[in-house]
Amino acid sequence: DGGITQSPKYLFRKEGQNVTLSCEQNLNHDAMYWYRQDPGQGLRLIYYSQIVNDFQKGDIAEGYSVSREKKESFPLTVTSAQKNPTAFYLCASRPGTGSGYTFGSGTRLTVV
Amino acid sequence: EDKVVQSPLSLVVHEGDTVTLNCSYEVTNFRSLLWYKQEKKAPTFLFMLTSSGIEKKSGRLSSILDKKELFSILNITATQTGDSAVYLCAVEANAGGTSYGKLTFGQGTILTVHP
């Protein structure tokens, strides 16, 4: 079955550590996105990528980094510079304009 | 800055009731408005609206867009407990010279349907 796989589902991080969240899709979609969701808030865009080896900052990119070396993969690194990283992270993809986004099941990151 | 506001933020109803969820927006270079349902984790796509006045319908759910007044509504008739979820409204706008737009989400409406 085609879809988006995010891993891990739950992640705990100590303060000062970098962590990388995985996002893989086998839908052959060109564009991929990372969103952050906090309680009582909607989704906020962190980074997005339209093609391999290219990506753009979203509204809250500070403290995060991404790469897009393969069409199928768009990992997100939460760096120690991100002051409040505890949140629910969602990855999404889409095949083109005029179509809806497909979301992964998310990764819940907790800083301990 | 693009802005999407949903109301109400939460709603509690009984099975069989009809509900209307609201979404207003202020964006530059509007492309489309999307509705999603989020139950546990991944939001699932409901509707994409691009033209004013054309109702989209799927079973008991329907939605319509008013581009003049900058809002959309999502209606759910004969609600069931399985409709309990967070309903997210998002607006897509052109993002500079890119061919793919970017989505701005509202806060979501938490719908609880009691038996």
Q: What is the distance between the alpha carbons of residues A57 and B33, in angstroms, rounded to a whole number?
A: 22
SS3 of B16, please? Answer: coil
Q: Closest to B42 (Cβ–Cβ): which among A48, A100, A103?
A: A103
Q: How close, in Å, is residue A73 to chain B by CA atoms?
A: 18
Chain B residue nearest residue A104, CA to CA: B42
Q: Which residue of B has its CA nearest to A5?
A: B42
Alpha helices, DSSP H only, in B1-115? none
Average confidence (pLDDT) per 10 residues, chain A, 112 residues: 88 91 95 91 90 92 97 96 92 80 93 87
At residue B83, the pLDDT reads: 97
B45–A contact, CB cutoff 8 A: yes
Interface check for A99 against chain B (CB to CB < 8 A): the answer is yes
Q: What is the pLDDT of residues B6-64, one digit of tens each?
A: 999 999 999 999 999 999 999 888 889 999 999 978 899 999 999 899 999 999 999 99
Chain A residue numbers touching B104 (CB-CB < 8 A):
45, 59
Q: What angle do CA B29, B33, B36 make, to 5 degrees?
A: 145
Report pLDDT for A8.
94
- Find the angle CA(A23)-CA(A4)-CA(A98) to the nearest 5 degrees: 110
Quick one: pLDDT at residue B103?
A: 83
